[in-house]
Structures are given as structure tokens and as C-alpha cells.
């Protein structure tokens, strides 16, 4: 059983550019959540995808968007990059029984993508 994987590992972009980060969920997991972790801070929830639909969103602007594919892998897209977008982006996968069902299943995190915006 493979764990959560993310690509790329590191990325350098300039202000105003667009970026796409990718996440492959753990086998059997239908839910992917994305988090942003700025240096010296705890992770902050960006959004979650359950069975290809957005299922909850944090306090991030619309230029942060995502997708989930039929195989439950996911992408995070960020448009019009700003310097403050520099962070470690983490994805986490978990199995959920339903959209509004509170789950006791663990969210398993990937190693993250380090994004630097110059």
C-alpha cells in the first residue's frame, strides 16, 4: 500500500505566475484536503475534495482552486502568485463515508511541496 505522494518536491516561481501542485491519495481514500504551512506556522486548511466535489473551504481567495479526479488524486492551482504564497503545501487523504459524516478516520499527510515565490 502506497502512502500519500506529492509532486513536485520543490518549486520556484515568480510573482504573478500560476502553479499547479499534485497529490496522489492513499489507496482506498476518497477524500483529499489541502493545507498551506507558512514558515514557523501550523498548517492552514485551504479546501477539501470528496468524490470530485469541493467539500469545505478555508479562508483563502478564489485564486486558490482545486480539482479531484475519478481516481481521487487531486490538484491545487494557484493563480497570480504573490510573495506570501511561499509556503509548504501539504495534502492529506482519508476515507469518508459521506459528505457530511464526521469521520474518525485518520488523515494521512504527504511530504509536501515547497513553493518559493520570488
Partner 1 sequence: AQSVTQPDIHITVSEGASLELRCNYSYGATPYLFWYVQSPGQGLQLLLKYFSGDTLVQGIKGFEAEFKRSQSSFNLRKPSVHWSDAAEYFCAVEVPNQGGKLIFGQGTELSVKP
Contact set with partner 1 (CB under 8 A) = 4, 31, 33, 35, 40-45, 47-48, 50, 55-58, 90, 92, 94, 96, 100, 102-104, 106-112
| Minimum CB distance to partner 1 smaller for 15 or for 51 | 51
How far, in Å, CA of 76 to CA of 1, rounded?
24
| Minimum CB distance to partner 1 smaller for 24 or for 48 | 48
| Minimum CB distance to partner 1 smaller for 50 or for 72 | 50
Burial class (CB in 10 A: 0-12, 13-18, 19+), 58: middle
* Residue given cell 501542485 in the structure block: 21
Give me the least distance between CB of 42 and partner 1, in Å please. 3
| Minimum CB distance to partner 1 smaller for 47 or for 64 | 47
Give me the least distance between CB of 69 and partner 1, in Å please. 18
Amino acid at each position: 500500500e502506497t502512502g500519500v505522494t506529492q509532486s513536485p518536491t520543490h518549486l520556484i516561481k515568480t510573482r504573478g505566475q500560476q502553479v499547479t501542485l499534485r497529490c496522489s491519495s492513499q489507496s482506498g481514500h476518497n477524500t483529499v484536503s489541502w493545507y498551506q504551512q507558512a514558515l514557523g506556522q501550523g498548517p492552514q486548511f485551504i479546501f477539501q475534495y470528496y468524490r470530485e466535489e469541493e467539500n469545505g473551504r478555508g479562508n483563502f481567495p478564489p485564486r486558490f482552486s482545486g480539482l479531484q479526479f475519478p481516481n481521487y488524486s487531486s490538484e491545487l492551482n494557484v493563480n497570480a502568485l504573490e510573495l506570501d504564497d511561499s509556503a509548504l503545501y501539504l495534502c492529506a487523504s482519508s476515507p469518508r463515508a459521506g459528505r457530511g459524516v464526521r469521520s474518525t478516520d485518520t488523515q494521512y499527510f504527504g511530504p509536501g511541496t515547497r513553493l518559493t515565490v520570488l
